[in-house]
Amino acid sequence: MTFMQKYIHAVTSSTLAWAGNIYDLVLITYAYSFLHKYLGLSYFELTLLFSLGLIGRVIGASIFGKIADTKGRKNVALIGTAGYSISQFLFAFSTFFPLMALIRIVEGSFMGAQWTAGTVIAIEQAPKNKIHLINSIVQAGYAVGYALTGVTYFFLSSSLDNFAGYRIFMLTGSIPLIIVPYIYFKVTENFKPSKAEKINVKDYKDYLIKASLAMSGMFIAYLSVFSIYPNFAEFEGFSPSYVGILMAVANGLQALSYVFFGKISSIFSTFKLIYLGIVGLIIAVILSMPIISFLHTISIMSAGVYLYAFTVGFWPLISGIVASSVPSEVRAFITGTSYNIGAVSGGIVSALLGVIIAVYGMKSLPYFVVGINFASLAIVFISMYTWPRSNPVAIGRS
């Protein structure tokens, strides 16, 4: 197998597996109304189920990240992809809240394993001059997976009025199992444990802390909008079919944006692109979750969602900076752990949104979301602005 073939298979499989990962994570957000009505789950319990998937991720990233750094990336990618797909199959048939919660944590652990190994195996096989672009392509799987949830909801939303329809809807999340044979047969890696002096993760704790803060800020900002937007949009008068189209188009745009920002990062300063993106997100959240009455129109709010989705395309540049700042012996652990610590932070805020809705009502949500975005994006800016500007670690191939 030529280098080009290995590189293409690694990137393709990682992108597809990451798309399936996100698809399974967010699919439940479209079923909140159904689960609230037919299982009697509160919005706090519903947002908690979403958050538990994210909490499980940091567990999986920490455990499997160390395995990936010592035993290789491919097997961890296989285990993670198969694990979250099978977990989603089981979740579709669970109606007892404690069991649903347990499955979501387990599923999240496998999700953390997949992202950690899949992302690293892709960027390590990429040409050195295309690291940010390849990382952005892989992370575009996030938007592709989210967009596909919108497509699924568009076609199946009318069937979410009985358990048979609900189960079919949730079972679509087990489809990523078909990616497992592709990873097994087509993805290769020449992983060899380092025989050099052992590198201590503690020596890179500053990188881990700043990376975790930056990722936490991004996840909190993003999930405070997108984890609840389908329900918020319907509250604002959007039809279910329009919500499906809106989320599909927005996330398709986000996928293109990931690639766009990855491409132009070879021309413009990566850090300046991040700062510009932060400004764009602040403008977008004001439009998508308006606190001013005259902005409460479908066209303006939709434009805000599209702007948010496009502007957030700078996000993978942060994980690219992290990966290129640390050696391979700790790369999977630090990139995976920081990313998924961020995911947990976003999940906690997502669960708190359920409490806010229960106490203050959906109408008050924009005030909280706008404030959350301002605070969390300030953390992202500070983390990136103070990032150590040392020489990047060599990754990939010439």
253-269 mean pLDDT: 92
Domain that holds residue 35: 3-185+202-385
Q: What is the pLDDT of residue 329?
A: 82
Q: What is the pLDDT of residue 111?
A: 95
Q: What is the pLDDT of residues 25-46, one digit of tens each?
A: 999 989 998 999 999 999 889 9
Is 304 inside a domain boundary?
A: yes
User: Quick check: 392 pLDDT over 80?
Assistant: no
Q: What is the pLDDT of residue 303?
A: 97
366-381 mean pLDDT: 97
Of the pLDDT bands very low, low, confident and very high (cuts 50, 70, 90), residue 398 is very low
Is 154 inside a domain boundary?
A: yes
CA dihedral 76, 81, 87, 88 (to 10 degrees): 160
- Both tokens of 291, joined, read 């606190």
Phi and psi at residue 127, to the nearest 5°: -60, 145
The whole-model pTM stands at: 0.80
Q: What is the pLDDT of residues 180-217, one digit of tens each?
A: 999 999 998 876 665 555 667 788 899 999 999 999 99
Is 16 inside a domain boundary?
A: yes
User: For residue 118, what is the domain's CATH number?
Assistant: 1.20.1250.20
Q: What is the pLDDT of residues 90-119, one digit of tens each?
A: 999 999 999 999 999 999 999 999 988 998
Q: What is the pLDDT of residue 176?
A: 96
CB atoms near residue 93 (< 10 Å): 12
Do 320 and 122 contact (CB within 8 A), yes or no? Answer: no
**Of 1-15, 130-144, 301-315, 330-344, highest mean pLDDT:** 301-315
263-290 mean pLDDT: 95
- Both tokens of 52, joined, read 């538990």
Is 191 inside a domain boundary?
A: no
Query: How far, CA to CA in Å, does 152 sit from each of 32, 175, 241, 250, 378?
Result: 15, 12, 10, 15, 35
Is 190 inside a domain boundary?
A: no
Is 83 inside a domain boundary?
A: yes
Q: What is the pLDDT of residue 393?
A: 66
336-359 mean pLDDT: 88
- Both tokens of 323, joined, read 């990966």
Is 38 inside a domain boundary?
A: yes
Is 194 inside a domain boundary?
A: no
216-231 mean pLDDT: 93
Q: Measure the CA–CA gap between 260 and 257, rounded to whole angstroms.
A: 5
| Number of domains present in the structure of the chain | 1
Q: Measure the CA–CA gap between 298 and 57, rounded to whole angstroms.
A: 34
Q: What is the pLDDT of residue 151?
A: 92
User: Quick check: 219 pLDDT over 90?
Assistant: yes
